[in-house]
Structure 1
Amino acid sequence: MEVIPAGPARRQWSAEAKARIVAASFEPGSNIAEIARTHDLVPQQLYAWRHDSLRAQRLAHEPLNFVPAIVDDPVSSLFSAF
C-alpha cells in the first residue's frame, strides 16, 4: 500500500529566522512579495509575522497596570452577622 501525503508538512521557523526575515521586510525600499518568495513564504504569512512583531513591540513599551484586589473573608463576614 502506498501512502500519499495530503500536502507539504508545516515548517517550523525559529524565532531568530522569523526576526531576521521580518527585519528585512521593514528595511526602506523592501518588497514584501520578493522577500516572501525568497524565503519560500506566501506574502500573507510575512504580513502576519510583521503584525505580530509590531504588536509585541507595542506591548513591550506599555506599562503594566495592576488592579487592586479586595479579598473578602467569607467566614468572618458570616459570623459578624450574628
Structure 2
Amino acid sequence: MDVIPAGPARRRWSAEAKARIIASSFEPGANIAETARTHGLVPQQLYAWRHVKADSQPLPESRRVSEVPALNTG
C-alpha cells in the first residue's frame, strides 16, 4: 500500500487579514487572481470571501427591497 502525504495544513485567517485582502481586491485596477496568489490563496477562495462579505453588509438605503416599487404585471 502506498502512503499519500496530505497537503499543506489548513490556514486560518484573522478577520482583519481577510478584510485587508478583500479591500485590496476592490482597489481600482486590481486583478482578483493576482491579488489571491499574492496572499497564497486560490482565486475561488477570494471570490467566496468577497461574496460572504457582500452578503453581510447592509444594503444602502437606495437599494433596500422594501423601497423598490412593485412591477405592474397585469
Do the structures match in fold with TM over 0.5?
Answer: yes
Please give the alpha-carbon distance, in whole angstroms, between the structure 1 residues aligned to 2:19 and 2:39. 13
Q: How far 1:4 moved relative to its partner? A: 6.9
Q: Which residue does the alignment assign to 1:76? A: none
Q: Which residue does the alignment assign to 2:27? A: 27
TM-score by length of 1: 0.64
Aligned residues: 58
Gaps of 5+ in 2: 62-74
Q: How far 1:53 moved relative to its partner? A: 0.6
% identical equivalent positions: 78
Gaps of 5+ in 1: 62-82
Moved over 4 A (4+): none
Q: How far 1:58 moved relative to its partner? A: 3.1
RMSD: 1.9
Question: Which letter maps to 2:23?
Answer: A
User: CA-to-partner distance for each residue in 1:10-67, whole Å, 9 max, x for gaps?
Assistant: 00000000000000001111100110110010000000000001000037x7xxxxxx
